[in-house]
Chain A
Amino acid sequence: MTTNKKSSSNVNVETIERHQYDVVIVGAGGAGLRAAIAAADGQAKVAVISKSLLGKAHTVMAEGGVAASLGNVDADDSWDTHFYDTMKSGHFINNYEVVELYTKEVADRVLELESWGAVFDRTPVGKIMQRPFGAHSFRRLAHIGDRTGKELIRTLQYQVIHHSVDVFQEVTTTRLLLDKEGRTAGVFGYYREDGRFVIFQAKSVVLATGGFGKAYKVTSNSWESTGDGAAMAFQAGAELMDMEMVQFHPTGMVWPPGVRGLLVTEGVRGEGGLLYNSQHERFMLRYDPVLHELSSRDVVARSIYKENLAGRGTPHGGAWLDISHLPAAVVKSKLPGMYEQFLSLADVDITKEAFEVAPTTHYAMGGIRVEAATGATNIPGLFAAGEVACGLHGANRLGGNSLGDILVFGRRAGMAARAYADDHDQGDLMSGQMEDEAQRVLAPFSRTQGERPYQLMAELQEIMTNYAGMVRSRDTLETGLEQLKTLQERSTRMVISGSRAYNPGWHTIFDVQSMLVLGEAVIRGALAREESRGAHWRTDFPEELPEMGAWNFVHTFQEGTVVVRADPVPAMPDRLARLFESNQSPGILRKQQRAARRGGDS
């Protein structure tokens, strides 16, 4: 039946399949695909590699929409208002340069999708419809029902296959290859189909590998979100930043157990859904008297947690979310995916009854530190974009800003990688590096006993959830770190049986190893940030401290350990700082001033 049972770990690297490209993009989510289109816009030879099939990446799950100040329903919206909202929600540790580029360009990126065949929901006058979302000043999210991510990835996927881009599906990369000067030279990986190795030589590499939400037990993230790209880059010398900032989305499914963590889109609240505690009180009126249910995600998630602490939680430890006051037809047309998801998986008809929700791990604000305009990392020839990178979201991501992020910065990283490839020669691969990697990757087959990958995965998720989750303190973090270190040590002894052909257990070994490295950075960052800010909540430092807001925590990997340092948050120039002089966003101010003028005229 299955062949090559125990493969020898003496690999001759000369016989490994090799490809030569100008630009290699690792990841076929929105960021990777948009980067590929940008990189292929010319003569460059471009490949996209993805560990799953084309069109299946995590991006496909995004529901609510993409945030862009098109101003189609609220004409007062503008890039500066979007800038204001994003910086404010990020609690001002975002990189303002990234935010400025983003808010100025995202509308064009959305329209470009429309030119490529995406069909967003429409306004009565035939423009792209925009829906309200938490902490956005205006109705801003372009969407198609509650399946916007699918629209985005499908549109980009068909663009890519109609461009000259080679797509390698179900190839997992395990290591970034550098030349002897420390420049990017390619990536090493294997075909999942049969486990054979493959080397991609490249002048530049774009990492677009997504986040690491699978490090937690209750998560909305797909199987792929194991942080491989960030871990690979980090171990090769790239810097990580803001790793303590992990977003917990307030509304994940709670029951039945198999669906725990599955996302309930913020669109439910955007369309008018209300949150209640067990006493049928709309508790968000208390926690945020202005924005109510549409407060920012960190605030809503903590409020649900606090209601449970106070004994006002639901049977399975959450809150009730209710949209049944809307006409059933509206719910079904605006939230068809949610309607179907609850009906088929939980036997609940959301047009008729309230349902339980609780916080779920959702998004990594932290990641590889990059230059704003290009996505360049500190490793020459290495670029990063999308959830794997950091800078746009600061301490708390606004809903809809990730789908925009992957478009704007996927494109920018793709262009920059192409420009870099134009100006540089292919770096020489070092054969020792490839041999080491081949041996490391095959080692689990040569052990006859050792640790089981699925077991370690479960333990890792347990540690991160219990000690570095939504609620943290020095005590929990230190306990977590200690346990994680033990797990890291055990992880060097993982064992797998069977063949190299499509072996999920083998694959899990590298997932676990990636997340163990990143998990340590999360905990060390969380220990360093002695305050509460955005998604990062320390019960021993419950206040947001202005002096802490001046720093981003940056991680480097030195001889096997994670080293943390504080770098100053870049200061906004006056023209941007001025936007924050009043406690209102520029668009809302303009609207108020106009209303006042009109009032004065009459």
Chain B
Amino acid sequence: MSEEMVLSIYRGDANGGQEEEYRVPLETGMVVLDALHYVQAEAAPDLAVRWNCKAAHCGSCSAEVNGRPRLLCKTRLDQYVGQVVHIRPMHAFPIIKDLVTDVSSNYRVAKQIPAFQPRTPAPFTMYQRDVDRVQEFHRCIECFLCQDTCHVLRNHGGTDQYFGPRMMAKVAEWEMHPMDVADRRQFLKDVAGLPMCNVTRCCVDVCPEHIVITDNAIIPLKERVADQYWDPIRALFRRFHRPAEGAVPGAGSDVSSRA
């Protein structure tokens, strides 16, 4: 099989740029990242693309292939036979060069999430059935494709207003940990911008780890926040069982998005 593929790769930086075409022979099982490496070795050694593992484990190689946010190392090239393959950097993040974007905002907001706070030090007694649901979030490879796809981040200045789906999965991971005692509800509402999410589910569609971010993380988190702020009896009950700080009954929340 020596079919030739045409790759149209974005070349440029913060000052602008355009797509440039490169030809690559198609090999059995080739992924888009292989094709970019071929271009680096043969034609453009300075072509910037981020990657580490080439095994879909590290989440470095995120970009947009024919308009869809994808991992370059997990995207088979043979599905595009007969088409030009357009490869562009992620849209929601500022470009550094070519396919590499500045994803540092994700690390900045991650720092603000109140950390896991266990009731007692390990060893914990926890049963598999109790950790199944948090282990789903542990699959995350921090590729930020969900962040790239979320319209709130895409259209409203990145993570400034809403920390984004990846960070909600991270919060859920700690919130739902059977041993965790921290209270992140006010943080979710007032700092992380959870109410901004209107559950369009676009993030779930692009997640290479198949994490159901909306139904399993975002909606339950919204419910926790809503409970605290809307249901005085449950809020009282909660406070009885574990002290909640800064509960302000009646403050604005986002119930509509639960529909």
Contact = CB atoms under 8 A, between A and B. Distances in A.
A599 interface: no
A2 B47 CA distance: 12
Interface in B99-156: 100, 102-104, 107, 110-111, 115-116, 118, 121-128, 131, 134-135, 138-142
B58 A504 contact: no
Interface stretch (A150-158, A200-208, A399-407, A534-542): A150-158
A537 to B, nearest CB: 27
A41 interface: no
Tell me which of A114, A258, A263, A503 has the highest count of chain B C-beta atoms within 10 A of its own C-beta.
Answer: A258
B118 A115 contact: yes
Given A122-B131, A222-B58, A452 B104 contact: no
A504 B45 contact: yes
B64 interface: no
Interface stretch (A50-58, A240-248, A432-440, A551-559): A50-58
Contacts of A125: 125
A144 B135 contact: yes
Contact of B122 (A115, A126, A497): A115
B131 A498 contact: no
B3 interface: no
A321 B40 CA distance: 34
Contacts of A193: 96, 102
Interface string A235-263: 00000000000000000000111110011
Interface stretch (B9-17, B198-206, B230-238): B9-17
A506 B54 contact: no
Interface string B24-45: 0001111100100000110001
A57 B59 CA distance: 11
B174 to A, nearest CB: 6
A56 B53 CA distance: 8
A58 to B, nearest CB: 7
Interface residues of A, number: 73
B31 to A, nearest CB: 6
A122 B134 CA distance: 13
A452 B121 CA distance: 54
Contacts of A285: none
Contacts of A602: none
Interface string A494-528: 00111101111110100000000000000000000
B58 to A, nearest CB: 4
A76 B97 CA distance: 56
A256 B52 CA distance: 19
A166 to B, nearest CB: 12
Given A56-B59, A60-B52, 11 more contacts: A56-B53, A56-B60, A121-B128, A122-B131, A150-B57, A150-B141, A256-B27, A262-B55, A337-B57, A341-B56, A345-B74
Going nearest first, the 4 A-B pairs with the smallest beta carbon separation are A256-B29, A505-B45, A498-B46, A114-B122
